[in-house]
Amino acid sequence: MRSQKRKHNIFASKSSYILRQMLHKPDRSWVLRDFTVPGGVSLGLAQAVISEMEKQGYVTWVKRGVGSSLKMSAKDNILSAWVRAYDFYQNFIYTYYNPDKKFLQKLKSVLKPEQYALTVHSGANLLTSYVRSDDIHLYLNENLWDKELLKLRQKLELKELANGGNVHIIRSYYKSNVFLHKQMIRGFPVVANLQLYLDLYNFQPRGREHADFLKETLNERGDGVG
């Protein structure tokens, strides 16, 4: 009996690059070489992801052969499948404490915009002001881990408590892709709207509620989650 070919996980870390690009410009036509640029993925991975997306009905070919291109055909279905496949707690989260009520300003003075990005309520609230929270969640650039983390903790005066804390530094499951389409909002770097939505959706407390409100707000503005 022939073994069934294993289904490719299109929401995996490297594979997500393709979905992020397509969701960012959902009306655009794409060719495979659009995804194999520097910082992108290999041709083999691009072919595997697109093949699986086609099977799931997420993309359609405009035409095949010479000059072939494809378009996204089911944006809402992709988002629904993605939030089922991903959970914010897949990330490595390191929790510390700092009593400073103006911690975001301190963060801004210590880190450069390219070195971090806010997420969950602390990122989304810069767009929505929807959920009151004193907790700060931020992704730290992969290059700053290991050697730089201790220095950063000292500069930010972060204390390690036996339980709890209000500053959460995150090493992303998605590695560098978590910073794709990062945005500046009110002077702070924030992950893309798509990543905000994904992070909020299964987050506690009040993540799903905030995710729905964020999506509604972005749709009203004509921006969309992508």
Radius of gyration of the chain from Cα atoms?
Answer: 19
98-110 confidence digits (pLDDT tens): 999 999 999 999 9
184-204 confidence digits (pLDDT tens): 999 999 999 999 999 999 999
212 and 181 in a single domain? The answer is: yes
108 and 49 in a single domain? The answer is: no
97 and 188 in a single domain? The answer is: yes
72 and 92 in a single domain? The answer is: no
Q: Residue 206 is part of a domain; what is its CATH number?
A: 3.30.460
More confident residue, 143 or 65: 143
Mean local confidence (pLDDT), 78-90: 96
Is 8 within a domain? no
Provide the 3-class DSSP secondary structure of residue 222.
coil
118-146 confidence digits (pLDDT tens): 999 999 999 999 999 999 999 999 888 87
Question: Dihedral of CA 106/225/80/206: which sign?
Answer: positive
107 and 208 in a single domain? The answer is: yes
Q: What value does the mean pLDDT of the chain take?
A: 93
Total tally of structural domains belonging to the chain: 2
- pLDDT value at position 148? 81
- pLDDT value at position 5? 57
> Given pLDDT bands bounded at 50, 70 and 90, which one contains residue 3?
very low
- pLDDT value at position 212? 97
Q: Are 167 and 158 in contact (CB under 8 A)?
A: yes
Is 6 within a domain? no
> Which helix (H) or strand (E) is 139 found in, with range?
strand 136-140
Q: Which domain covers residue 39, as residue numbers?
A: 16-85
- pLDDT value at position 65? 67
- pLDDT value at position 6? 67
